[in-house]
Structure 1
């Protein structure tokens, strides 16, 4: 795919949604960190349902740590993998208190050192909470990059590297959100809604569903 096509793709996505936002609900970098940590292999809808009950009760490292693993599980037991997530969340809260004065770090190294926080979670926090250029490649973005040919790659790291290289600079800060939303609602896994796609004429997916 040439750079003119890429520029037009992101121009259209921006025009349709000038101020894209994550669908996870949060009011602080800490709340975002916990929401993203809980969202692994789970939907944003399921995480929001849980955090709407959790955050009014505990939305600081100290408050969640005070709940303990069992107490936290009561709030997040409707989310997939909640046992492991509860353990990691408690460990992360303890580390934030002991090493970072209860403040979420704004750099990759410290974020990825937190239990349960991998590269993708760190990228979401860096981009969304701290407005740094970072590309969190989830299943939707991986599919978008490969289907459209904007950034084809065999694994998430390859797609991430190509997106950072090929997405025009003016779009880099918000590209992550545009691609997730497009993949979640239009370029869906089983049968993409090509007839409803604003970039259908630019996309290089050979098996389009449009008639």
Structure 2
């Protein structure tokens, strides 16, 4: 995919959704960090159901710590891997209080030093909470980057590096959201819905189905 084609790709996604954002519900950077930490190998819908109950009771590091392990687990036990996530979140809360005055840090190094927070989670928080032009590559974006030809790479870091290099500056801030939503709802893993894709004519995917299957 060349420079002009990439511009067209992003411009169409931007026209379709001028103000994209995460589907995780949050009101503060700490709530976002918590939601993203809980979302690993879980759906945003499932996380939102849990945090809808959790956040009115505890939405600060101090509040989460006050719940304790069993208390926190009782709010998030509908989410996969909830025991390990509760452990990581409690440890993260302790570090935030001890090292960062109870606030979510705004730099990658400090974020990635938190238990359960990897590069992808750090990118989401930096981008969504603090407006840093980063791109968090998950399975959807990894698939989309390779399938469409937008940013091919052998692993998620390679795709991230490629996207940071080739994404036009004016689209960088929202690129993560456009790509993940497109991958989640249109460019699906097993059956991409090419017939309703706004970028199907600039995509490199060779097995496009441009007419909907019967009943769609």
TM class by smaller structure: over 0.9
Matching residue of 1:196: 196
Counterparts of 1:73 and 1:136, CA distance in 2:
27
Match of 1:48 in 2: 48
For the 8 Å contact 1:191–1:209, the answer to whether it is kept is: no
What is the CA-CA distance between 1:208 and the residue it aligns to? 1.1
Structure 1 residue 37 displacement after superposition: 0.2
Q: CA deviation at 1:133?
A: 1.0
The CA distance in 2 between the partners of 1:209 and 1:160, in whole Å, is 27
Provide the residue aligned with 2:160 in structure 1: 160
Q: CA deviation at 1:108?
A: 0.1
| 1:70 paired residue number | 70
Q: Give the deviation of 1:203 after TM superposition.
A: 0.4
Contact 1:65 1:93 in 2 (8 A): yes
1:144 CA drift (Å): 0.9
Question: How many residues are paired up?
Answer: 211
Residue matched to 2:148: 148
Q: Deviations over 1:21-40 (max 9, x none)?
A: 10000000000000000000
Shift of 1:162: 0.1
Residues 73-120 of structure 1: CA distance to partner in whole angstroms, max 9, x if unpaired? 000000011010000000000000000000000000000000000000
Write the distance in 2 (CA, Å) between the matches of 1:174 and 1:144: 16
Gaps of 5+ in 2: 212-216
The residue number in structure 1 matching 2:133 is 133
- SS of corresponding position for 1:133: coil
Q: Distance in 2 between matches of 1:25 and 1:191?
A: 28
For 1:74-93, list aligned pairs within 5 A. 74-93=74-93
Q: CA deviation at 1:210?
A: 1.8
The separation in 2 between residues aligned to 1:155 and 1:149, in whole angstroms, is: 14
Residue in 2 aligned with 1:116? 116
The 2-side partners of 1:189 and 1:209 are apart by 14
Q: Secondary structure at the match of 2:200?
A: coil
Please give the alpha-carbon distance, in whole angstroms, between the structure 2 residues aligned to 1:204 and 1:169: 23
Partner of 1:169: 169
SS at match of 1:137: coil
Q: Aligned-residue CA RMSD in angstroms?
A: 0.5
* TM-score under structure 2 length normalisation: 0.97
Q: Distance in 2 between matches of 1:147 and 1:178?
A: 16
Partner of 1:4: 4
Matched residues in 2 for 1:3 and 1:77: separation?
Answer: 46
